[in-house]
Structure 1
């Protein structure tokens, strides 16, 4: 059977990281498929994450690693988890998100068995409390995704073949996901898509994207666009300038 690694970048998250991770790991114990490992890369400045991982050592195949030697951001931390993974398939799952379909792992493995595709995205729901799930979202890729209009959702919907893995740009915070989707598309073509909502994105005040300042957003749009500018169509050039104007006209904090 194909082994799958669930890669979770973790940190203290303003005091709620351990709570959210515990809930996420609890949901993983409900998976009907058991041929998976959980790789947690811990960048917490306190000792809040490792005891949670220890609590699940008997019910999940846990691999706990520290992320002290890499940059302190989500991109570097998830890359660290990927490097320590042993599965043939890598599934990204942020610590505050939940794998809510008890057949999710089996569905992902089946999709890769039946197709030669290198990367996969799934549908999702949204939750504020980990109990009520709303706003079903079905993903799709579009050519201008790297400019910030995210039609795929968070990296928690992603799975990839380990042998063809790519790594997140560790200089990015706000656009880390859409830049990665562009990387994958350019390297591998269209993603496999499971429209079923396999995960739930948690909405809360401690989300990293809620604290990103406008100057960082503008800088990242410019830098990501520079990566792909040589292949841009005129339509995408127009989209780029519209996005810059939109960001510049948006009040700080909106």
Structure 2
């Protein structure tokens, strides 16, 4: 029998796009699923949409009311209440391709891995493909520096492909399918981080396991003005220094030269001042 997959949906005032996200679950070719919702006290029509969805499907849909404590706490509450062998996040803005769960479950089982992620298609608030713009140019293909065909087995040594510690080489949590056992073994998402908690978890996962990457766009990732990605774009995140120093120390010998430089500049701030002084004095 196919293993149970828990589709975890952390919600907060998601009425704008939630119906489309939920409809993509109905269309999945993989049938052994449950839906676990953790709602952070939504005050729009989110809960009504979820209750109607629950009445329309023949699989388990459990809705848990959660006291808001940040996005990490909401994600982790989903995991805590899940019963599946595998965890599949779906954010309220995004859309699963019809074969997403089946293809990812098959990939994990065939290759005996604990986690797999896929590429994704970028869409806008009208569900139209995005194919231009600054964010798109930098983030559309997160693995563009890696040459591979159908799939890639990403190990620590492949961190050399990234020029920046802050660059996410994998993707958002809902591009992943996780074996639930890894959360028991490695811990859940770090709730102290506000924005890069998914990247921190991927680095933590990479410490022990290979991450599979599928060269197929199995998720539609929605870019719009009200999401955290857009709101935080360009901001200096409070966890940035801590995160760079953590990754730099743990994976130093695997990093590219530019990523190592980033680590040293954060670890030893005086180097940043010296670099500015050299520019001011006319030295390269």
Aligned length: 237
Which stretches in structure 1 are left out of the alignment for 5+ residues?
250-254
Q: How does 1:165-244 map to 2 (within 5 A)?
A: 165=183, 166-188=187-209, 190-212=210-232, 216-217=236-237, 219-231=238-250, 232-233=252-253, 235=257, 236-240=259-263
- Find the partner of 2:27 among 27, 30, 44: 30
**CA distance in 1: counterparts of 2:235 and 2:110, whole angstroms:** 44
Q: 1:88 to 1:209 in 2, by over 3 A?
A: same
- 1:24-58 CA-to-partner distances (Å, cap 9, x unmatched) read 00111111221111111100342532211111113
CA distance in 1 between partners of 2:104 and 2:224 (Å): 27
Mark the runs of 5 or more structure 2 residues left unpaired by the alignment. 132-139, 147-153, 277-284
TM, length-normalised to structure 1: 0.83
Distance 1:209 1:105 in 2: 24
Give, in angstroms, the shift of residue 242 of structure 1.
6.5
1:76 aligned to 2:77? no
Give the match's secondary structure for 2:15.
helix
CA root-mean-square deviation: 2.6
Q: The residue matched to 2:112 in structure 1 has which SS?
A: coil
The answer to whether the 8 Å contact 2:124/2:130 transfers is no
The structure 2 residue matched to 1:39, chosen from 36, 44, 53, is 36
Deviation at 1:83, TM superposition (A): 0.8
1:67, distance to aligned residue in structure 2 (A): 1.7
Deviation at 1:20, TM superposition (A): 1.4
Partner of 1:123: 119
In the alignment, the residues of structure 1 paired with residue 261 and residue 71 of structure 2 have an alpha-carbon distance, to the nearest angstrom, of 30
Larger radius of gyration: 2
Quickly say closer, same or farther: Cα 1:241–1:119, change in 2 above 3 A. Answer: same
> 2:63 matched to which residue of 1?
64
CA distances 1:146-171 after superposition (whole Å, capped 9, x unpaired): 83112222111011111222411111
Deviations for 1:155-203, whole angstroms, at most 9, x for unmatched residues?
Answer: 1101111122241111112211211110110131x21222111101101
Residues 185-235 of structure 1, C-alpha deviations (whole Å, 9 max, x = no match): 0131x2122211110110100111333386751x31111123334332483
**2:281 — aligned with what?**
none
Shift >6 Å, 4+ stretches: 242-245
Q: 1:81 Cα shift? A: 0.4
